Amino acid sequence: MSISTASKALNDSGRMSAETRERVKKVALEVGFRPNALARGLITKRSFTIGLLTNDTYGRFTLPVMAGVSEELVGHGVSVFLCAIEDDSERARVHVDAMLDKSVDGIIASGKRLDRQLPVDLTGLAVPVVYAFTKGPVDGVTLRSDDEQGARLAVRCLMDAGCRRIVNVTGPKTFQSVRERADAYRATIDGPPEVLHGIWSEAWGHEAVAQLWDRGGEKPDGIFCGNDQIARGVVDALRERGVRVPEDVAVVGFDNWDIVAAQTRPPLTTVDMNLRTLGREAGRLVLAMSEGREVQPGIRKLPCSLVVRQSCRGLEAPA
Amino acid sequence: MSISTASKALNDSGRMSAETRERVKKVALEVGFRPNALARGLITKRSFTIGLLTNDTYGRFTLPVMAGVSEELVGHGVSVFLCAIEDDSERARVHVDAMLDKSVDGIIASGKRLDRQLPVDLTGLAVPVVYAFTKGPVDGVTLRSDDEQGARLAVRCLMDAGCRRIVNVTGPKTFQSVRERADAYRATIDGPPEVLHGIWSEAWGHEAVAQLWDRGGEKPDGIFCGNDQIARGVVDALRERGVRVPEDVAVVGFDNWDIVAAQTRPPLTTVDMNLRTLGREAGRLVLAMSEGREVQPGIRKLPCSLVVRQSCRGLEAPA
DNA sequence: GTGGCGTGAGAAAATGTTTTCTCATATTGA
DNA sequence: TCAATATGAGAAAACATTTTCTCACGCCAC
């Protein structure tokens, strides 16, 4: 039995009798034959390897994305290099070079902001690149969450819960996602909008509540927060003031960061960006591109979903 | 100029005049020559690739370890495959097989508990394995934090701050690290020890404070918590009762999970397990083993350090 | 002057696959 | 029955390197 015949049998290529093919496969299984991926890659130009580049060191956004990518690709025999670069363009370059040396089949660039590029230029590379949850070039393939749709979900939940005066306590105006979410908020509520910008911290949530409650005039009965940390600050501050959540004021967060949302008292209703799904999609796309299939460039927005806990119950679901 | 001469020049092997060597290197640089890692790996049996296996999906422990590993190895041209397996032994097997197919030079097994093995057997593999922050076989190379030493640091900090009655509010007794930390606590304090076991959550921190304060008798003036989440619950509960931290009661946590420790009011003094350093060490060891250098099996304990914030100030540092 | 040796450089083998080519045999049609 | 065609299997080339061998040349000593 020649090596070439065996190869053809195992790869379902070439011409041969079904009987021979079966026989080879059976023996290969018995003997535990594992083809050497390096030798195979050398000739096929595919390493069954992709690189995931990220500058999100907390892993808050990258880990779910990574999990999705891996989940999608492991069935195709593709493994994932994870490279954490912390906004250091030189280090990023080293990592990218290392990946190229290993002839990855593609690269997924991921980050923590939709309006910032990674500190390294990935255009003009010989391998396909997919941008997931980070800014890519205009002619690149980019995946992101649909923040406007997510914000609409959140605000509608508050409205369904009966809120009439809803305020948006959110992060810095410099973040594109902050502006998008605020815009969707303005377009969805009935009354006059009020947007309070601050930083992404619990402390700002506290302070915002102080501002809103210590001034005269009507108090809000619903608060749409820019992320879960701010929401937690808001909820804590309200509880300290004796304001009941969600009876007096309903609160909705953004991110569904489990560790924050679930530990808040009461647990947060919040928007989930479905980053795992986004990761799967990124994996699917980069694999398709590496196999030469045509992929339309442009920005793909993936829908968010609402995770209802106790800080805002919206309409009760029909029984 | 023959290919073989070029190869020898670039690898500083073989015999040749220094002049030729220099000339080859210069041209290689100019022309941007990058050797194909696959072909190189095929012959040298080294892929300059290692696999990091983890069942810590939150990334709380794995991300710092990963960062350390990567940091240590990128300079040697080694890239890291990250495989997140969630206690699914079949999936783990698939990932390990994929790594072996790609002939990784070594595997680092990492986890979230020191007393649990990953759901896959890594003994008898052809490649070296290092266990980092997870349980390994007795004859394996294992790296872990020195929890007893870390606990001593924490308790001493409380004692230095003047605490006389220190209580240990911690996680489930089934965790080895809980027992080790509690043992160190018992051995370090002066008075009679008191250890309260619960789950790893803020809610348990609250409840523990309720138990301690709602019963009669002397109140503690120092609380050593099993992790930062419990510590946060404790601090929040104390504040709600009007107990001042650290003036009335000093609190020390464990883990230095930034997102929890820094957002607590006041910010937590806590023990850092130096997981990044642990990761670096794991990278160093697996690299050494893959290069055939002898590494003593056994458990290596790496020291923890204390991060002083405001919940316990210990002795003021000399000016 | 010639044998031995050190030196530098190229030739060739090896790595483990896939793929293309070649060839022998069996099958079919006239 | 013989040529044409289809079929199955092996031989060989290719992939991009490293490494071991071989060889030519010059130098030195005897």
pLDDT tens figures, A285-319: 999 999 989 999 999 999 999 999 999 997 654 44
What is the CA B5 to C1' C19 distance in angstroms? 30
Report pLDDT digits (tens) over B198-217. 999 999 999 999 999 999 88
Displacement of CA A213 from its chain's centroid (Å): 35
Residue A196 bridge partners (DSSP): A169
What is the CA A22 to C1' D1 distance in angstroms? 37
In the sheet that B298-302 helps form, which strands lie side by side, from edge to edge? Answer: A298-302, A141-145, A129-132, A106-110, A49-54, A79-84, B79-84, B49-54, B106-110, B129-132, B141-145, B298-302
Rounded to an integer, what distance in angstroms lies between the CA atom of residue A238 and that of residue A244? 7
Rounded alpha-carbon distances, angstroms, from residue A8 to A36, B42, B73, B102 = 15, 21, 38, 21
Report pLDDT digits (tens) over A175-204. 999 999 999 999 999 999 999 999 999 999
Nearest-Cα residue of chain B relative to residue A40:
B38
* H or E element in which residue B314 lies: none
* H or E element in which residue A293 lies: none
Rounded to an integer, what distance in angstroms lies between the CA atom of residue B265 and that of residue B253? 13
B34, with CB counted inside 10 A (0-12, 13-18, 19+), is: exposed
Q: Is B102 on the interface with A (CB under 8 A)?
A: yes
The DSSP output letter for B79 is E
Name which residue leads in pLDDT, B73 or A23: B73
The DSSP output letter for A115 is T
Residue A187 C-alpha, separation from nearest chain B C-alpha, in angstroms:
33
Residues 129-148 in A contacting B (C-alpha not used; CB under 8 Å)? none
What is the CA A125 to C1' D21 distance in angstroms? 40
Measuring from the CA of residue B2 to each C1' atom, give the nucleotide at the shortest distance. Answer: C10
What the block records as the tokens of B258 is 């930034």
Q: Please determine, for residue A234, whether its predicted confidence score (pLDDT) is greater than 70.
A: yes
Of B81, B94, B101, the CB nearest to A80: B81
For residue A1, what pLDDT is reported? 78
For residue B299, what pLDDT is reported? 97
Nucleotides of D under 7 A from a protein CB: 7-21
For residue A254, what pLDDT is reported? 98
A42:B36 CB<8 A = yes
**Which residues from 12-41 of A have any strand D atom under 7 Å from their CB?**
14-17, 20, 39
What the block records as the tokens of B153 is 């640091």
What is the CA A82 to C1' D19 distance in angstroms? 33
Give the count of beta carbons closer than 10 Å to the beta carbon of residue B205.
Answer: 29
What is the DSSP secondary-structure string of A229-284? HHHHHHHHHHHHTT--TTTT-EEEEES--HHHHTTSSSPPEEEE--HHHHHHHHHH
Contacts of A67 in chain B (CB under 8 A): 57, 84
At residue A290, φ and ψ (nearest 5 deg) are -70, -20
Rounded to an integer, what distance in angstroms lies between the CA atom of residue B266 and that of residue B156? 20
Q: Please determine, for residue B319, whether its predicted confidence score (pLDDT) is greater than 50.
A: no
The arithmetic mean of pLDDT across residues B22-51, rounded, is: 91
The arithmetic mean of pLDDT across residues B134-143, rounded, is: 96
For residue A316, what pLDDT is reported? 53
The arithmetic mean of pLDDT across residues A64-80, rounded, is: 94
Give the count of beta carbons closer than 10 Å to the beta carbon of residue B162.
Answer: 13
Average pLDDT value over all residues in chain B:
93
For residue B56, what pLDDT is reported? 92
Give the CB-side neighbour count of residue A318, counting CA atoms within 13 A: 0
For residue A315, what pLDDT is reported? 66
Residue A264 C-alpha, separation from nearest chain B C-alpha, in angstroms:
9
B74:A91 CB<8 A = yes
Nearest-Cα residue of chain B relative to residue A202:
B263
For residue A266, what pLDDT is reported? 95
Rounded to an integer, what distance in angstroms lies between the CA atom of residue A231 and that of residue A261? 8
Residue B254 bridge partners (DSSP): B271
CA dihedral B309, B313, B315, B319 (to 10 degrees): 50
Residues A27/B94, Cβ–Cβ less than 8 Å: no
3-state secondary structure of B252: strand
Q: Is A63 on the interface with B (CB under 8 A)?
A: yes
Rounded to an integer, what distance in angstroms lies between the CA atom of residue A234 and that of residue A251? 8
Of chain B, the percentage scoring pLDDT greater than 90 comes to 82
Average pLDDT value over all residues in chain A:
93
Report pLDDT digits (tens) over B263-279. 999 999 999 999 999 99
Rounded to an integer, what distance in angstroms lies between the CA atom of residue B80 and that of residue A178? 34
3-state secondary structure of B187: helix
pLDDT classification of B32: cutoffs 50, 70, 90: confident
Q: Please determine, for residue A172, whether its predicted confidence score (pLDDT) is greater than 60.
A: yes
What is the CA B41 to C1' D19 distance in angstroms? 14
Nucleotides of C under 7 A from a protein CB: 7-21
At residue B75, φ and ψ (nearest 5 deg) are -65, -20
Residue A91 C-alpha, separation from nearest chain B C-alpha, in angstroms:
9
Radius of gyration of chain A (CA): 25
Q: Please report the sign of the dihedral spanned by the C-alpha atoms of residue A291, residue A292, residue A294, residue A296.
A: positive
Q: Is B103 on the interface with A (CB under 8 A)?
A: yes
The arithmetic mean of pLDDT across residues B141-167, rounded, is: 97
Of B35, B70, B203, the CB nearest to A84: B70
Give the count of beta carbons closer than 10 Å to the beta carbon of residue A14.
Answer: 11
Residue B76 C-alpha, separation from nearest chain A C-alpha, in angstroms:
10
The arithmetic mean of pLDDT across residues A18-26, rounded, is: 86
* H or E element in which residue B270 lies: strand B269-272
Of chain A, the percentage scoring pLDDT greater than 90 comes to 82
Closest C-alpha among B176, B161, B173 to residue B308:
B161
pLDDT classification of B316: cutoffs 50, 70, 90: low
Which CA-bearing residue is nearest the C1' of C16?
A: A39
Of B48, B77, B82, the CB nearest to A80: B82
For residue B59, what pLDDT is reported? 86
Displacement of CA B232 from its chain's centroid (Å): 21
For residue A59, what pLDDT is reported? 86
The arithmetic mean of pLDDT across residues A29-33, rounded, is: 88
Residues B165/B220, Cβ–Cβ less than 8 Å: yes
Residue with tokens 């994996």: A283
B38:A34 CB<8 A = no
What the block records as the tokens of B193 is 């020890």
Q: Is A210 on the interface with B (CB under 8 A)?
A: no
pLDDT classification of A13: cutoffs 50, 70, 90: confident
Q: Residues near A294 by Cβ (< 8 Å), separated by ≥ 6?
A: none
Residues A133/A105, Cβ–Cβ less than 8 Å: no
Distance from first CA to last CA of chain A, Å, rounded?
A: 67
pLDDT classification of B70: cutoffs 50, 70, 90: very high
What the block records as the tokens of A194 is 């009020």
Task: Catalogue all structural domains in chain A, each as residue range(s) with its CATH number.
Answer: 3-35 (no CATH), 43-145+274-302 (3.40.50.2300), 147-273 (3.40.50.2300)
Residue B114 C-alpha, separation from nearest chain A C-alpha, in angstroms:
22
Q: Residues near A7 by Cβ (< 8 Å), separated by ≥ 6?
A: none
Residues A300/A284, Cβ–Cβ less than 8 Å: no
Report helix angle B202-214 to B228-240, nearest 10.
50
What is the CA B8 to C1' C10 distance in angstroms? 12
pLDDT classification of A19: cutoffs 50, 70, 90: confident
Q: Please report the sign of the dihedral spanned by the C-alpha atoms of residue B286, residue B292, residue B295, residue B297.
A: positive
